[in-house]
Amino acid sequence: FVGSKIHTFLTRVPLPEPCRHVLSSNALLRVLPSSQSKDTTPGYYHNVPNSLELFSENRVICPKQTADTLRNGGIASASPRQWAEYRQAVQEAGQGWKGVGSGHGLIVFKRGGSGSTWFDSLLGNHPSVDFRHEAHHSVFAPFHGPEKATQRMRNFLKGGKKCRSEQGYCGFSISPTKHAKDVDWSELIRVTGASIVVFVRTNVIKRLLGLERKSLVHALPKRCRRGSSYKPEMKDDPACAMNTSVELGFGRIMDGTDEANFLQAWDLIETALSTGGPFQILSYEGMQQNLTSTFETLGSFSGWPLSSFDWASHVRHAKVTSEDLRESVSNYDEVEQWLQNKPCFLDMLHSENKQIFPLCHAPRNFTVTFDNDADVDDVEEEEGENGSDDGDAHRR
């Protein structure tokens, strides 16, 4: 990106093959002929074409693309294996993104109710890395302005003195538009060479259910919970009793689905796209399906040494709620009727266990309210690789 403060690329090592058509040989955007630029954006409440594989395969989104390209199904992406081969090639050639940092930083964009605390905690257990849950609590303070917050994140990602990894494998999770609104992410990854990951929960209905349960957990005595997460070992305490099913109100479904869909997926992906760099997409449901594979593909993209670690040994299991929404949503039939005109969300209501969903194209006809998205971002039911819920036990 000549003349840009976004990543500058050395072109003697070509990008992975799926990404090559995005950029010309001089690293400028290639202008497609009008016959190839037809708008194929889906109608509202329909699935975005070609988006399912982005989540199910933990794809790496190629650099310098736009949200419009994503919406019309034309986003270019590489497999984690292809990106690992490319990474190896640029290392051998001493080339690549011109990040001037000496560390191997990792930034995970996420939102509340996504299951990311489970992800953060497991990654933080790895002995070779220093990964922090929610940077605004663990790297900089909420009252810091964007300049000071950026400086602290930059020093940490570059392997500064607060980074506890000898090899410089330092990273954190963050809700970028909520807790770091004015941070220049393009500049931050340029000067640190950090990798970006977008972590999502693809089932919007289950995210709403999780947020609803979170509010109920907050109302329990402190001995029953850790933050907003339920202690499954306290289930026999009468004061800690919770219903296994939750009622979802009309407003939560009709307005909340659109808002949750935007905040949980589109906002994160568009923020990552705005940096101009490559980024990987990981999902909560992918972790449920195969915990080891999720972290191996993350290692392939980021270069972090994650392939020889026993992730399952750090997961405890305590089943709390059913994955079957007929059992966990008390007014299931009513919700089903409300969603008749929102087919992509209706599919999520009818979901199978651990099912991964494509993006839903929904209008942004809502006022974003951050109050329904608590800082402690996980609910009590998190599921491990072998299919058993690990409850709150994913916390160290």
Q: Can you tell me whether residue 40 is helix, strand or coil?
A: coil
C-alpha distance across the termini of the chain, in Å? 42
Contacts with 163 (C-beta within 8 Å, 6 or more apart), sequence order: 103, 130, 156, 170
SS3 132: strand
3-state helix, strand, coil in the chain (%, to 5): 40, 10, 50
Residue 68 has a CB neighbour count (10 Å cut-off) of 13
User: For 349-363, how does the pLDDT look when each residue is reduced to its tens digit (9 = 90+)?
Assistant: 999 889 999 999 988
Q: What is the pLDDT of residue 320?
A: 57
Q: What is the pLDDT of residue 316?
A: 59
Q: What is the pLDDT of residues 295-315, one digit of tens each?
A: 999 999 999 999 889 998 887
In whole angstroms, give the CA distance from residue 134 to residue 172.
6
Which pLDDT score is estimated for 28? 33
What pLDDT does 88 receive? 82
Q: Which pLDDT band holds residue 386 (cuts at 50, 70, 90)?
A: very low
Check pLDDT > 70 for residue 388.
no
Q: Pick 151 or 263 by higher pLDDT.
A: 151
The span from the CA of 78 to the CA of 20, in Å, is 10
pLDDT value of position 86: 87
Mean pLDDT calculated for residue range 362-381:
53
> What single DSSP character describes residue 62?
P
pLDDT in tens, 60-117: 999 999 999 999 999 999 999 999 998 888 777 766 544 434 458 999 999 988 889 8
- pLDDT over 90 for what percent of the chain? 49
Mean per-residue pLDDT for 213-224?
87
The string of pLDDT tens digits covering residues 311-351 is: 988 875 444 567 889 999 999 999 999 999 999 999 999 99
Q: How far is CA 387 from the centre of its chain?
A: 21
